[in-house]
Every structure is written in structure tokens, then in C-alpha cells.
Structure 1
Amino acid sequence: MAQTFKIKAAIKPYSLDFTFDAGTSRGVLTEKQTHFIQVQSPVFPDIYGIGEAGPLKGLSPDDLPDFLDRANEVLNKLEKISFSKDPTTILTMLSEVGLDEYPSLRFGLETALLDLVNGGTRKILPNSFYEHGSAIPINGLIWMGEKRFMKAQIDQKLQEGFECIKMKIGAIDFEMELALLESIRKKYSKEVISLRVDANGAFDPNEAMVRMERLAKLEIHSIEQPIHPGNRHAMAQLCRTSPIPIALDEELIGINDFRQKKALLEDLKPAYLILKPTLVGGILATQEWIRLAEDMGIGWWMTSALESNIGLNAIAQLTSSLNPILPQGLGTGMLYRNNVSSPLVISSGKLRYDKDRFWSIPDWNLDD
């Protein structure tokens, strides 16, 4: 069999509909536009690989009005390339074809090509999550909204057995958010329930410390992106003096050069990194961030960026391959009423791959 192969590829948009109005500091979400990438090759007859490119509106570098046109241009170029069948070489080749400005597209292509060379079975990387059904602990995400809605989410997550709760804060009523967090802490110590908060950059730099000091009284595990990204001096000072460990998220977007990544971490010295492969440039880029973080004693966890189960599956397998220690942010599979049916299952605060369940993926003819 040939050691290289050429592909035929197609990309199709798909609209994911939320089961509720998902409130964030950047607005309320009712739907998520994503794109499925399908690749085939005569070298791998009768199978296909599938990936997901889902730019996050208002945040992804490739959230562009002409994203689909640009993606098709990239696919046309890739159809002229002879790819190696070696997964590591495939990732390297994709990192060398100039996709830095299209991080979600690169991640979708990495996923689709790795799926193809692994037999079209939705296996992306060697990992115990897919191969042995090993469960990944995840945090239960609490979306912004009215107090009753947020409290109902908290009660549900606790009943479902989550031991780590993450609450989005900073854009509605801080006193109400504090009260909700306090209600959890009154019932459960930090040894029983770990509390994370995510400000999505909503705090004003001048008020951030005061708010974090109040949050610290509730023994918060960490605060994600307290101020808007790009204010490096203020963020560095907060990382040094905050009573709550700070995790960087949006701060990592758009930084592709290894030296720039290293300089950012050396300057800010955060406690944690939050890594979204769709936003930071895919599998290789995520692995590079993690190597740097671990070399500097910085913790990390992975988070999905509102992908469907196709993207979530790839992120979960990547996570598993990296031997995670902390609960991960991989609970987005239940957000949509029209998600792709998959073997991904959440139970007792953990995500697992149940091989007794099957994929039901929208299919199309690449000649359409």
C-alpha cells in the first residue's frame, strides 16, 4: 500500500441549537455556527475522516465573514499535497502550510486526517479514553442568567455527582454571584466541591483585586481570565498578588511563535493555563503550550469551545493522551438539541467513551 496519499475534502456548515439561552459576559448564545470537514482518499477505500472547524464568534482569529470561502481555498491547496500516513508527520505538515490565522480550521483538518489514517473509526490519537473507556473528570459549567436559573443549574450539577463546579461571573450582578457561590460553600467544603470561576475578562483592572479578595473568602480554586486580554502589565501584577490562583484563557489566543509563548508565561507567571485547541491552533500548538507550562510548573486543563460531539471527541482524546491531573472543561456535549449522536457519555461528573453506542454523523457525497 502506498506510503503517501492524496485527499479529496469538503466542508459544510452546521448550526447547533442550544437547549437554553446560554449567558456569557459577551452576550447570550442561542445557536453556534460550526463546520464539518470530511476527507477521503483512494488509499483508504470506503471510509472517511471527519473533523470540526468551529470559530467562536467574536473571539476566534478565524471568525471571519468569508470563513467558508477561505476554508475551501485551503482545502483545494491541500488536495494537491501528498500526505504521509504517519500521524506525527501529518500534524507537522499541517503546521507548515500557513494556517496560523485559521486555528479552528487547522484543528478540524488535524482531526479529519488523523481519523482517516486511523481507519475512520473516530479515533484521533492513542489514548485510554477511546481505547479503554477511561473516564475523564470534568467540571460542571454554570451559565449566567437569572438567579433562579443559575441556582437550578448548580443544584442539578451537584445532584449529578460533579465534584468541580465552574461558574461564569462578572457581567450580571456580582453580589448575586457571590451569594450563589456562598450557598455552595456553606454546604460543601473545598475538599468536597472545588469551585472555579470564569470572568471572561469582564473585571475592570482597577476593581479586579477587590473582587478577588471577596471571592477568596469562599476558597475558590481558581479564577479564569479576570481582566481583558492584552493588558500584560496589569495581568502580571494580578498573577503575582491575587489571593486566588489565576488561569489564562483568552490571553493565549493569537500567540503562535514558541518564543512569544515562552515570554508570555515568563512575564505573567500564571497558576494555570486553560487550553482550547480550536482557539490556540490545534493539536500541535496545544501540546507545545502544555510542554512549556509543565516545564515552568504551571498547571493546565483543557476546555472545549462549544464544539459539537465531533470536536469534543477529538479534544477529549487529546486530553487523555496528555495524562491530565485536574478536572477538565469538557461538558459541552449536552448543550445542543441537535448535536451529533455519539458514544460520548457524561455520568457522575465524568466524560467517557461508551463503545456500545454509535456515531450518527451527517453524511454527504463529496461530489455534491
Structure 2
Amino acid sequence: MLQASYQKHTLQFTFEAGTSRGILTERDTYYIKLWDSSNPSVFGLGECAPLRGLSIDDVPDYELQIKKICNIINKKLLSIDSTNTLPQLVDESYPSIVFGVETACLDLINNGKRFLFDTPFSRGEAGIEINGLIWMGKEEFMREQIETKLRAGYHCIKMKIGAINFEKECALLESIRKYYTPEQIILRVDANGAFTPKEALKKLTILSQYDLHSIEQPIKQRQTDILAQLCATTPLPIALDEELIGITTYQEKERLLQKIKPQYIILKPSLLGGFRHCQEWIELAEQQHIGWWITSALESNIGLNAIAQFTAYLNNLIPQGLGTGQLYHNNISSPLEIRNGFLYYNNQQSWHIEDILSFGDL
């Protein structure tokens, strides 16, 4: 019979990670373990990681909800053949728990080896191109990050903006364009809703002179009329990010995309309710000729691995947002590694789950 347990872990950032919602120095995450009582040495792992101030399930009773779903699984006397229905037991108002249970199920039915999708990436034969993420901070800190990413061989840079003076942020972008053409370096920016509706179009026009690929979420979410007008008139492609959070039904997703008509959408499985919801967004986006890519949301390597393998399965060849595995002092050691702006799964390396997790019986 299927059994489940969970363990909390606090991840420690290697630096002060600046966002428009404040400085991050640590974050709590929860790992859910799923196994068949007849073969407990084989287990699936999933990560439940709400993002503070952003996830709809960033609520005080979050841990109680994980405990509740584990108790439900333990009492239902389910067989391993029931794994495909387990995510449906989770309340969809807890999307990161849906994602964690979904990942644990996929892991378990694939023999508990953190091998979720059979692709050239998961077999160690190919990499996934990713963007190098530039965090908000003082101008010197941001410039140092840019130089480090360029030296490391990244061909796509994503810079978070809204933390320092806008003119200084533009100067950083200009300094990149002075030496690198759009063919050499793809530039993305992420405003995280930092612009006011009144100033947004003017700032988009200024930013467009730097030949940017796109801007993520220029204004705060739930201003759909204004955002639709921006997407219709913008000189710079707009990608929806936070706007998608909390939209769960197929009909709501369709209405949102039809109304706003963005140039891109960005999919974060742990914020949107797992792979099934992401696939619905992709289906609707492609029907409306809207581009998309996938981004991790500061998960540890357990969640990042699941998202990366899912991304490889979908075979979207533009740069993805999967470069967050090196953010923490106390991440779980894994075969994931970055080389020249690509994420790889190095099958010569092992997972070292036991260094962080115990569950009392690992």
C-alpha cells in the first residue's frame, strides 16, 4: 500500500537575493516522500515550495495541509497503480503541494531514481539552454553579476529591474549592447510589476532601444484592461508571469489569454499547480500563437530537476529559466550542473539526498 511522509528544510541563500518584493536570505521548502509499503527502499520525492509573498498557497496553515495529504494517502490503502490519481486528492488552492505530489508520483513509478521523463537531457546526452539571472541590487553588484555570467558562456541574460534608478538600469543594458549584438547575447528583463500603469509604455519604449527579447510582467497583476492595452501597443514583447498565478480552470486561462493577448507566457509549475496545468497553458497559448518558456521558482535541486526534465520533455528550444540550482549553501547535491549557459544532467554524478533529508528512515 502507498505511504507518504514529509520533511521541512530551510534553504540558505549564498547572497542577499533582491526582488521587487524584498530581500531573500532563506526560504522554507517541504519534501514529500512516497513509497509502497511492500518495497520501502524505492521511493519517490517531490518538493512543495511556496514562494513567500507570491504563491497563492503562502498561508499560515501550509504545513498542516501537507500533513493532511500525507494522512489521507496513508489511510486510503491505495495501491501503486493509484499514483496517477494522487495529485487530485490535493486542494488546487495549494498548487505547490499539487506539484510536489505529482513529482513524487512520477518519481516512484519510475523506480525512485529522480528520473521522471525519458529524454536526451535526463539520459545525460543533451543540455537545456538557460538564461543567466541577474539579481536586483546596487549597480556595482549587478554589473559584477553580468560580467560573471558573460564570462561563464551564457548567451541569454535576464536582468531583474526596478530596484535601482531606471536610468542606471538602462545604462547596464546599454553597456552590454555596446559589445554584444542581439545575435550574440539575448537580453530579457523582469520588472516583477514594478512599473505604474501611467509610466509603463514610456519605459517600454525606452527599453526597446536595447533590442531586448522581452519584459516580464511590467505592471502588477490583475490590471487586465491596462495590460491588454499595453500588449497591443508595446514596442517590446511582454511576457506574463505573476498574471497566471491563481488561474486554475481551463476556461479562465483561455479568457485571460484572449483578453490580454501577450506575446509570451512564463510557466512556473510549483506556482501554477504542476505539469498538467502548465500543459493546459501551453495548449491554449499555442492556439493563439503566443510564445512560452518555463522557469523554476527558487526550488532546491529536487524541484529544479523535475521542472528541467519536464521542460526537456516538451522540447522548447528557446532559453529557459532554470539556472537557480546554485543559489543555496545547503542545497541537495545532485547531478545537475551548468556549463556554458546550458543545464545538464550529469549521469556520472550521484544524488546525495541523505546529506539533507532523513524522514527518519532514508
**TM-score, with structure 2 as normaliser:** 0.96
97-106 vs 133-142, greater mean Cα deviation: 97-106
State the alpha-carbon separation in 1 of the partners of residues 260 and 53 from structure 2: 24
| Contact 1:25/1:170 (8 A) holds in 2 | yes
Would you say 1:316 and 2:308 are equivalent positions? yes
Match of 1:61 in 2: 56
Would you say 1:40 and 2:32 are equivalent positions? no
**Can you give the 5+ residue segments of structure 2 that lack an aligned partner in the other structure?**
none
Amino acid at match of 1:343: P
State the alpha-carbon separation in 1 of the partners of residues 3 and 19 from structure 2: 38
Would you say 1:194 and 2:176 are equivalent positions? no
Amino acid at match of 1:49: G
- Runs of 4+ in structure 1 over 3 Å off: 80-86, 365-368
Alpha carbons of structure 1 residues 83 and 127: separation in structure 2 relative to 1, 3 Å: farther
| Contact 2:7/2:359 (8 A) holds in 1 | no
State the alpha-carbon separation in 1 of the partners of residues 88 and 339 from structure 2: 40
| Contact 2:95/2:273 (8 A) holds in 1 | yes
Cα offsets for 1:139-164 (capped at 9, x unmatched): 00000111110000000000000000
Cα offsets for 1:75-112 (capped at 9, x unmatched): 211223465656xx744x24532521110011111111
| Contact 1:17/1:32 (8 A) holds in 2 | yes
| Contact 2:2/2:34 (8 A) holds in 1 | yes
Match of 2:337 in 1: 345
Amino-acid identity (%): 52
Match of 1:79 in 2: 74
**Can you give the 5+ residue segments of structure 1 that lack an aligned partner in the other structure?**
1-5
Counterpart selection for 1:246 from 238, 250, 253: 238
| Contact 2:32/2:104 (8 A) holds in 1 | yes
Counterpart selection for 1:363 from 343, 357, 360: 357
Cα offsets for 1:102-143 (capped at 9, x unmatched): 100111111111111111110112322112431000000000
Counterpart selection for 1:329 from 321, 331, 337: 321
Would you say 1:166 and 2:152 are equivalent positions? no
Match of 1:219 in 2: 211
Would you say 1:115 and 2:107 are equivalent positions? yes
Would you say 1:178 and 2:178 are equivalent positions? no
State the alpha-carbon separation in 2 of the partners of residues 196 and 13 from structure 1: 34
State the alpha-carbon separation in 2 of the partners of residues 153 and 367 from structure 1: 41
Would you say 1:155 and 2:147 are equivalent positions? yes
| Contact 2:5/2:359 (8 A) holds in 1 | no
Amino acid at match of 1:42: S
1:365 Cα offset (Å): 4.2
**TM-score, with structure 1 as normaliser:** 0.94
Give the match's secondary structure for 2:252: helix
Amino acid at match of 2:357: D
State the alpha-carbon separation in 2 of the partners of residues 83 and 141 from structure 1: 42
Give the match's secondary structure for 2:317: coil
1:291 Cα offset (Å): 1.2
Give the match's secondary structure for 1:172: coil
Amino acid at match of 2:214: S
Match of 1:97 in 2: 89
1:366 Cα offset (Å): 5.2
| Contact 1:44/1:116 (8 A) holds in 2 | no
Match of 2:299 in 1: 307
Cα offsets for 1:196-247 (capped at 9, x unmatched): 0000011001100000000001111100000000000000001101100000
Counterpart selection for 2:228 from 219, 236, 244: 236
Alpha carbons of structure 1 residues 204 and 23: separation in structure 2 relative to 1, 3 Å: same
State the alpha-carbon separation in 2 of the partners of residues 85 and 75 from structure 1: 15
1:45 Cα offset (Å): 4.1
Match of 1:279 in 2: 271
| Contact 1:123/1:130 (8 A) holds in 2 | yes
Give the match's secondary structure for 2:205: helix
State the alpha-carbon separation in 1 of the partners of residues 78 and 219 from structure 2: 42
